[in-house]
Amino acid sequence: MKVVLAPFIFIVHISAQIVNLALWGSLIIGFGLIRFLIPVAPVQQLLAILMQHFLLTFGKVSVWLIRAFNPVVIERRFSDPVSRDNWYLIVANHLSYLDIILLIELASERFPAPKFFLKKELIWLPFVGLGAWALDMPFMRRYSAAHVTKHPHLKGKDIETTRRYCQKFVHSPTTVINFVEGTRFTPSKHAMRNSGFNCLLPPKAGGVAFTLATMGDLFTNILDISLVYPENRKHPMMAMLCGQMRHIIIDVNVLEVPPHTQGDYFNDDTYRTQFQHWLNGLWKAKDQRISFLLGNK
């Protein structure tokens, strides 16, 4: 019966999620345009706070809809308390677009509204692209090694973007989210990259290193977040939309910012090796944690 009802649940649920996205996305875009047109610092700051509230409300309503359409248990586990008055760098695994909704909702009433580093292509996604632009979220354009070789002037463009946007995050408590794998995990990507991890793709160190180099003195803690869908590992977004999501675990390990994580990653070979060793160790522990949370599923 549940399989028969899935297409109908999908239609109603996705329609409700689109309406929720359109409502809060339109408000964020509208107030973002006003903020752009009124270059008065106090007004811009007030509008920014209001727009962040819209973002968090979108996340709360979206998760409320997920609960309404799914017999789901959502576990949120924090190793230590967090605060809305602190700066955080989140390093997280990435399985689904559902991850983004869950991380936005997780921030509500717990820590500052998150800033995501987004792929350049998402600027064209209705409500999402312009909404993210209005919220000062950076859009990154990925270049293959072959493309950079043919066009050397593009080398380091992502780093320049990271530097520019990080400067905007220093004036008020902020949470910066980095999906360290650089893309969503799939079994095919896992095999293609010859990953040495069971549940993760290899971490990409450059973006994390540069964010820490730019803002490391501000970050109160690193939040090592593991997102796990024990009953719906293959297609969590579709399972959620069809009313088949059963269990979500959001495991938050609150870490101190190690002093050795700040340095010149791109020009200091010793520091780069040291940083990669630290991140790989963090990722290995994360892989073991996710394997434990998944159990035998």
Other beta carbons within 10 angstroms of residue 13's beta carbon come to 19
Q: What is the model's pLDDT at position 154?
A: 45
Number of folded domains that form the chain:
1
CATH number at residue 211: 3.40.1130
Mean pLDDT by 10 residues, the chain (297 residues): 76 96 96 92 91 96 97 95 94 93 95 83 78 80 52 54 68 87 85 86 84 80 95 89 95 89 76 89 94 78
Query: Left if phi > 0, otherwise alpha if psi is -120 to 50, otherwise beta: which for 271?
Result: alpha
d(CA 177, CA 189): 22
Q: What is the model's pLDDT at position 147?
A: 44
Q: What is the DSSP string of 95-149?
A: --THHHHHHHHHHTTTSPPEEE-EEGGGGGSTTHHHHHHHTT--EE----HHHHH
Backbone angles phi, psi at 115, to 5 degrees: -115, 125
* Contact (CB, 8 A) for 116 and 92: no
- Give the total residue count for the chain: 297
Question: What does pTM read for this prediction?
Answer: 0.88
Backbone angles phi, psi at 244, to 5 degrees: -115, 10
Domain containing 262 equals: 2-294
Q: What is the model's pLDDT at position 141?
A: 59
Diameter of the chain measured on Cα atoms: 60
Backbone angles phi, psi at 36, to 5 degrees: -65, -35
Q: What is the model's pLDDT at position 124?
A: 74
Backbone angles phi, psi at 121, to 5 degrees: -65, -25
d(CA 98, CA 106): 12
Q: What is the model's pLDDT at position 160?
A: 64
